[in-house]
Amino acid sequence: MKRRALIRTGLAFGTGAFLARRAWAQGGTLNIYSARHYNTDEALYGNFTDLTGVKINRIDAEPDPLVQRLRTEGDKSPCDLLITTDAGRIERAREMGLLQPVNSPVLLSAVPAHLRDPDNNWFGFSKRARVIFYNKEKVTAADAPKTYEALADPKWKGQILIRPSGHIYNQSLVGSLLAALGPEKTEAWAKGVAANLARPPRGGDTDQLKGAAAGEAMLAVSNTYYYVNLLRSKKPEDREVAAKLGVVFPDQAGRGTHVNISGGAVAKYAPNKEAAVKFLEYLVSVPAQRYFAEGNSEFPVVAGVEMSPELKSLGTFKEDQLNARVFAQNNAEALKIMDRAGWK
């Protein structure tokens, strides 16, 4: 509770200047369908209600059922805002015609073009880089792979830990490779990665990191915030895992590191559209952006936002400027490629 109170206080401080730029009506209701399952997000919702008087009703569930529910409900849906932890699911909702465009100068100026839908149907509000980690006792920084393509090198046979192909984070990563390399080279790469797996994929990103630290493999692929959360953990055993791992942001000499988003979108039949847009604009305010960095170790989408010392310790990096809609649209083909490659 103390941590939540501190975060709430930090969010409130400085938010007034943002709100003063907007003629924000007090009160009302906002119905959110959210696939973000982070306890720390409670501070965001509570602070928004404190600032605006808008009451939030929220349904938390996995992303695919939420999108299907939105589709089934049609124009009778009470949903105002859909929130997902990746571009893939929110883009599927757009393709199904379940979202509506938002013309907000605040969002357009705050969110970089590659992190939002080109037609303004959805907007990223936090970033998660998918990077390579290595066991520092087994691999030197000089020898660690510097590109995603290098993960297919036979020298890493039996030495890679990564989630199953069915997970959306990997589908988006491979979707970005599809855009960069084309289908033939991407499939050859996927076969190389499948041949280099230390074991059949299982578990989440944290499991891959713990496995690499324990010596099950030399390399692991994970989103950065899982690592930073270990680094910041109050548990000594978690910090010990992080201490054993080095970090590589791939493709710094080329297109840059693949970055996915947490994103939000106004539902097509939103009964409270004004409140939904208001909430999206709140999410890109500097105090809320600071919260994403502090609360769940995610990178802010707004430039210049202060981050925790642990997140800052990763350093700056060049990110792939491929629009998130592109790799999201490639998800289905990416999954077929991974299945054919034997990456289950």
- Segment among 138-142, 199-203, 306-310 with least mean pLDDT: 306-310
Residue 5 has pLDDT above 50, yes or no: no
The predicted structure's pLDDT at residue 40: 75
pLDDT(333) > 80: yes
| Mean pLDDT score, 168-181 | 97
pLDDT average, residue stretch 51-56: 95
Structure tokens at 336: 């077929």
pLDDT score for 43: 86
> Judging by beta carbons within 10 Å of its beta carbon (0-12, 13-18, 19+), is residue 273 exposed, middle or buried?
middle
> Which residue type sits at 84?
T
> Band of the pLDDT at 16, cuts 50, 70, 90?
very low
- DSSP letter string, 32-65: EEE----GGGHHHHHHHHHHH-PEEEEEE--HHH
The more confident residue out of 287 and 247 is: 247
Percent of the chain with pLDDT over 90: 87
Interval 133-161 mean pLDDT: 98
Q: How confident is the model at residue 6 (pLDDT cuts 50, 70, 90)?
A: very low
CATH of domain 2-127+261-307: 3.40.190.10
Those residues with Cβ within 8 angstroms of residue 235's Cβ, 6 or more apart along the chain or in another chain: none
Mean pLDDT of the chain: 92
Band (pLDDT 50/70/90 cuts) for residue 220 is very high
> Six-digit token pair at 302?
């707004």
Domain ranges of the chain: 2-127+261-307, 129-257+317-337
Rounded CA-CA distance 253/233 in Å is: 32
Q: How confident is the model at residue 41 (pLDDT cuts 50, 70, 90)?
A: confident
Q: What is the mean pLDDT of residues 261-281?
A: 97
Helices (H) and strands (E) in the chain, counts: 16, 9
pLDDT at position 23: 39
Segment 301-329 mean pLDDT: 95
* Residues forming beta bridges with residue 301, ordered by sequence position: none
Q: pLDDT value at position 42?
A: 87
Instruction: Give the range among 23-37, 92-106, 132-146, 295-309 with minimum mean pLDDT.
Output: 23-37
- pLDDT, average across residues 15-31: 58
Return the H-helix or E-strand segment holding 130.
Answer: strand 123-135
Task: Identify the band that residue 264 occupies on the pLDDT scale cut at 50, 70 and 90.
Answer: very high
Please tell me the pTM assigned to this model.
0.91
Match 């990191």 to its residue by tokens: 209
The pLDDT of residue 317 is above 50: yes
**Reported CATH class of domain 129-257+317-337:** alpha beta
Q: Predicted confidence band at 9 (pLDDT cuts at 50, 70, 90)? A: very low
pLDDT category at 260 given cuts 50, 70, 90 is: very high
Mean pLDDT score, 140-150 = 98
Residue 26's pLDDT band (cuts 50, 70, 90): low
> How confident is the model over 181-197, as a mean pLDDT?
98
Within 8 A by CB and 6+ apart from 344, the residues are: 164, 165, 200, 201
Pairing of strands 245-248, 81-84: unpaired
